[in-house]
Amino acid sequence: MTAEPAGPVLSVRNAVRRYPGRTALDGVSLSIAAGEVYALIGRNGAGKSTLAKAVVGALALDSGSVRVLGADPVRDREARRRIGVAPQDIALWGHLSIQENLEAFAVLAGVAPSNRSQAVDQALAAAGCADRRGERVDALSGGWRRRANLAAAIVHRPRLLVLDEPTEGLDAETRCALRTLVETLRRHATAVLLISHDAEDVATLADRVGVLEAGRLAAEGTPASLMTSAFAGRQELTVRVDAESSATALILTGFGLTPADGGAWSGLAADALAQARSIDEALRAAGVPVGELIVRHPRIDALIAWASSAPQP
C-alpha cells in the first residue's frame, strides 16, 4: 500500500468549463482537508453540479485542475476509487435489493473479495438500513432509498464523499440520521463536499461554506465569517399582516421588504428596530392590523437565500 500524499483530499485550481453559450465554471479554486465538510451553495445553474461532476472525474475541465489526494480523477483510477458520490437522484438499481446494490458497487469500486461482506455490512449499518437490506430499492420509500443511496456511496470507504442534496424531501428523523452519518464520516477523516440548499444541513454540518455565483466562487469561509461578511451587522426584519391588500404591499415594499414564504414579508436593515417601529406606525395608520413583527439576526437560510437569489446585499 502506498502512503497518501500530505495536503488536502480535494484540491480544485482555476477550474474552467465552458458550454456553448455559457461558462459553467469560471476559474473556481477550492480545497477540502481530511475530516472537513465543505458546503457548496448557490442558485440553480451557478455551476455546483458541474463542479461536482468534475470532482468525480465524470467531466473534463477546459482548463485548471482537480486533484483528489494529489491525482487527477479523470485519468487516475486509484483516485476515482477514493471518491464516493451520492447524486441527488437515487443512483441505485431499482430491481435489486439494497444489499445486492451495495455488493455490486463494492465490486465495481475494487473492494477486495475478502473485505467485501464486511464493507457491505458496515455501510448498511452506518446508513441505518441493515434491517431492510433484503428489500428491493423499487419497493422502498423515499427516505430509505436516500439512506441506501448514501450507503452505496460509502461502501468502499472513500476518502472524499460528494453529497448532492442528501436530505432533500426527507422527514425530520431521516434527515437527522443522515446528518449523524456525515458527522461519523467526518470523524473518520472523510472529506465531504456537500451541495445543499438546506439551511440546517449547512448550519449543522459545514466547516466551511463556498458560495458559487455564475461559475465563480463569490465567497468562502466558515458559516460564521460568511454571515458577518454577507450581512455586515444588518438584521433580518419579518412582518406578517392579517389582511393583505395593495396598500399593504405598497407600504412594505416602500420599506425595502420583499414577499417571503408563508405570506410574510422580510428584508435586511441596519437599524431594524427603528424600522420595525416605523412599519408598525405606517400599517396602523393605513388601518392594516399587524399580525407579527420580528427582528432577529440573520440565519443560515438567509445566507443561502442571499447566495441563491439576486440581488445580493
Partner 1 sequence: MILVMLSVMARGFVRDRAGLILAFLLPPVVFLVFASVFGSGASGRLDVRAGLYQAATSVQSRRLVTALQQRLSAPIRVYATQDALREAVLDGDVDAGLDLSAHLITDPYPASVVMTSGRRASGEVLSAKVREAVASTLARDLARRDAERLGVFLGLRDDQKRRLATVFSGAGPMTFVAERTLGADDPLVVYYAGAVSILFLMFTAMQGAFSLIDDRRAGLRLRLGLAVGGLAPVLAGRMLWLTALGICQAAALFGVAAAIYHIPLFAALAPWSVTATTAAAASAGIALALAAACSTRAQAQTASTFVILILAAVGGSMAPRFLMPALLQRLGWLTPHAWVITAYQEILWRRIVSPVVFEAWVVLAAFAAVGFALALMLESRRRL
CB of 175 to partner 1, least distance (A): 20
152 sits near partner 1 (criterion: CB under 8 A): yes
56 sits near partner 1 (criterion: CB under 8 A): yes
State the SS3 of 169-199.
Answer: CCCHHHHHHHHHHHHHHHHCCCEEEEECCCH
Could you tell me which of 292, 287, 288 has the C-alpha nearest to residue 265?
292
CB of 280 to partner 1, least distance (A): 50
DSSP per-residue string spanning 76-123: -HHHHHTEEEE-SS--S-TTSBHHHHHHHHHHHTT--HHHHHHHHHHH
22 sits near partner 1 (criterion: CB under 8 A): no
CB of 122 to partner 1, least distance (A): 18
CB of 180 to partner 1, least distance (A): 23
Q: What single letter denotes the amino acid at residue 137?
A: V
Give 116's contacts (C-beta < 8 A, 6+ positions apart): 103, 106, 107
Q: Rounded to an integer, what distance in angstroms lies between the CA atom of residue 183 and that of residue 235?
A: 31
Count, residues near partner 1 per rule CB under 8 A: 29
Which of 10, 92, 129, 212: binder of partner 1 (CB under 8 A)?
92
The residue range among 5-13, 97-105, 246-254, 268-276 that interacts with partner 1, by the rule CB under 8 A, is 97-105
CB of 18 to partner 1, least distance (A): 12
CB of 66 to partner 1, least distance (A): 14
118-121 contacts at long range (C-beta below 8 A, 24 or more positions apart): 119/155, 119/156, 119/157, 120/155
Q: Rounded to an integer, what distance in angstroms lies between the CA atom of residue 55 and that of residue 10?
A: 8
The residue range among 32-40, 107-115, 194-202, 218-226 that interacts with partner 1, by the rule CB under 8 A, is 107-115
Q: With respect to partner 1, which residue has the nearer C-beta, 104 or 295?
A: 104
193 sits near partner 1 (criterion: CB under 8 A): no
53 sits near partner 1 (criterion: CB under 8 A): yes
Contact 98, 148 (CB under 8 A): yes
Q: Rounded to an integer, what distance in angstroms lies between the CA atom of residue 255 and that of residue 291?
A: 17
Which of 8, 42, 87, 267: binder of partner 1 (CB under 8 A)?
87
Q: Which residues bind partner 1 (CB under 8 A)?
A: 53, 56-59, 77, 80-81, 83-85, 87-93, 95-96, 100, 104-105, 107-110, 152-153
